[in-house]
């Protein structure tokens, strides 16, 4: 048995639970770089706000758990979000308010706030219609390369197949491992280079990828 197989033996997969939210919000804030530009408290608020937004857009979740701790998450949808979408949208409000009440929170929110507009424009410019979306995919840095991402992604594809989803899309950028998606056979159908406050010395590239069954 190789090292990766041995590591995967200690990992279980299940739907997301509310008790996972704080750990996953912290994982998001670390992965998305919120901690580089703000205090731990503000970074956590940003992570929780982002997580709740993604939860509002999902119909599928799978968490990778190792020794009782979530180390990876994938969220996606194969149809329009159900009745829980409103619940998660409302749950964002306290986190939005907490950010707006501090100067640092307002600054960081502005820094990252324009990304969704870039993504929306990429989708609009593609002129395509999709059955589904991969809304969030994150792995703890010390667990990457062990096969957890492959399993989470494979589970998501299996779900989409069960829902008769023919294609889906996802957004990513140059701060992420976008090569993973190309390795999995997704096609890049949109791209935009923009100067952002988080990388003021160079342009950051935003991508739209498509998967067809």
pTM given for the model: 0.90
Mean pLDDT lowest for which of 20-24, 68-72, 82-86, 156-160? 82-86
Report which DSSP code applies to 19: G
Confidence of residue 7 (pLDDT cuts 50, 70, 90): low
User: What value, to the nearest 5°, has the Cα angle with vertex 63 and ends 60 and 67?
Assistant: 165
pLDDT at 202 over 90: no
Statement: residue 3 has pLDDT above 70: no
The burial class, CB within 10 Å (0-12 / 13-18 / 19+), for 189 is middle
The stretch 92-99 carries a mean pLDDT of 95
Burial class of residue 5 (count of CB atoms within 10 Å of its CB; 0-12, 13-18, 19+): exposed
Mean of the per-residue pLDDT values for the chain?
A: 90
**Helix extents (H) in the chain:** 3-8, 21-31, 34-37, 40-56, 84-100, 103-113, 115-126, 148-162, 179-183
Q: Name the β-bridge partners of 169.
A: 133, 210
CA distance 47 to 118: 19
């Amino acid at each position: 048995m190789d090292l990766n197989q041995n590591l995967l033996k200690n990992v279980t997969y299940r739907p997301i639970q509310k008790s996972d939210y704080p750990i996953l919000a912290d994982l998001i804030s670390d992965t998305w770089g919120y901690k580089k530009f703000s205090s731990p408290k503000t970074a956590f608020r940003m992570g929780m706000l982002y997580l709740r937004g993604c939860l509002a857009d999902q119909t599928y979740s799978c968490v990778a758990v190792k020794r009782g701790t979530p180390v990876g998450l994938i969220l996606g949808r194969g149809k329009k979000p159900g009745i829980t979408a409103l619940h998660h949208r409302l749950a964002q409000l306290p986190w939005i308010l907490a950010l707006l009440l501090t100067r640092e929170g307002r600054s960081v929110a502005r820094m990252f706030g324009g990304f969704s507009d870039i993504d929306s424009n990429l989708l609009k410019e593609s002129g395509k219609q999709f059955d589904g979306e991969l809304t969030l995919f994150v792995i703890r840095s010390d667990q990457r390369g062990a096969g957890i991402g492959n399993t989470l992604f494979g589970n998501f594809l299996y779900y989409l197949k069960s829902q008769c989803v023919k294609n889906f899309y996802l957004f990513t950028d140059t701060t992420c491992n976008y090569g993973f998606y190309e390795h999995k056979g997704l096609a890049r159908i949109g791209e935009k280079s923009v100067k952002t406050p988080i990388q003021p010395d160079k342009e950051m590239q935003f991508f739209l990828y498509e998967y067809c069954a």
